[in-house]
Amino acid sequence: MPNLPPLPALPDGEQFAVKPYYHLLPLDHFTAGSVPLPGIENGFTPKDFPIGNTVAKCWSVLSFEQLGVDERRIADVGSQHYPEPDSSLDVSLYVYTDKKTFTTPRDRHWGIRWILEHTQGRKNPHIFTPAVRCLEVTSNIDSYNNGPHLVNWGPITSPSKFATKSNCAVLKLGKFTKAQRLMMEAIAWQIGVQRPPDGEYNCQNWCTALFALAIGYGLLTEEKVNSVMKTALLEEIPGTIMISAIYNF
């Protein structure tokens, strides 16, 4: 399967507690089955990121402007040491809950992630700690020159985000096969960001668009997504922990 199959349908965006901003999606590519699976030879030529030398390639059909990219890409060095296993893995919504940083539930950072082990992790677990594969948007660094906005850099593997000391709720979406995780990555590459900011759009809207597309492809159910989002928007989320506590060495 060199591309994602044609998208059967999108769920009604009005059902979600957070607006999915469907107008930021290249829906014609999804319905035509022309969204590339990253890393697979299929006639699609990935773009080089515009600033700096990097081994990372952009697997999006969207323009850099639509992705919010106008500065040096964050290095994805983690993916060289944290390969995707052939086994199924828990994929979760990570919700940052620090009230000093995020004053309301709608302000919280959301990201879709799964845990990957270092190639030497089982031999030396206290030296080679796990990492998380991250599907999420982040704030641009050079906000002085370009104005503050969000950026979709594509999937990134991050040991530091696994080891963060921030309080976080980890809400499981389900177990995903390696092929299903690749489909999630392909979807994530194609979700644009709102520029300029409109006072409402944030990382939660981006994640909701990914959820909606995952429902359309049968990777998630509407019931699961609505349940997870309802919990993520509670004033107090039960079971909030530090991220690294969910991994048993």
Tokens of 120: 């030497």
Span 58-79, pLDDT tens digits: 999 999 999 999 877 776 767 7
Q: How far, in Å, are 18, 45, 135, 164, 188 from residue 113 at the CA level?
A: 19, 26, 6, 14, 12
Q: What pLDDT is attached to residue 249?
A: 33
Taking Cα atoms as reference points, which of 159, 154, 74 lies closest to residue 117? 159
Closest CA to 137 of 212, 176, 85, 195: 195
Closest to 16 in 3D by CA, of 88, 102, 82, 106: 106
How far apart are the C-alpha atoms of 177 and 17, rounded to whole Å?
Answer: 28
The position carrying tokens 């000093």 is: 100
pLDDT of 199: 92
Question: What distance in Å separates the CA atoms of residue 117 and residue 246, rounded to the nearest whole number?
Answer: 13
Could you tell me the pTM of the whole model? 0.91
The parts of the chain modelled with pLDDT lower than 70 are 1, 51-55, 75, 77, 121-128, 141-147, 163-165, 240-249
Tokens of 224: 């699961």
Q: At what angle do helices 203-216 and 178-189 cross, to 10 degrees?
A: 130
Using one digit for the tens of pLDDT, what is the confidence trace for 92-108?
Answer: 999 999 888 888 999 99
Q: Given this model, what pLDDT does residue 158 score? A: 87
Q: Is the dihedral of CA 214, 28, 63, 1 positive or negative?
A: positive
Q: How far apart are CA 150 and CA 148, in angstroms?
A: 7
pLDDT at 8: 95
First-last CA distance in the chain? 36
Cis-peptide into 50, omega within 30 deg: no
Residues 6+ apart with CB under 8 A from 174: 90, 91, 220, 224
> If DSSP codes are grouped into helix, strand and coil, which group holds residue 141?
coil
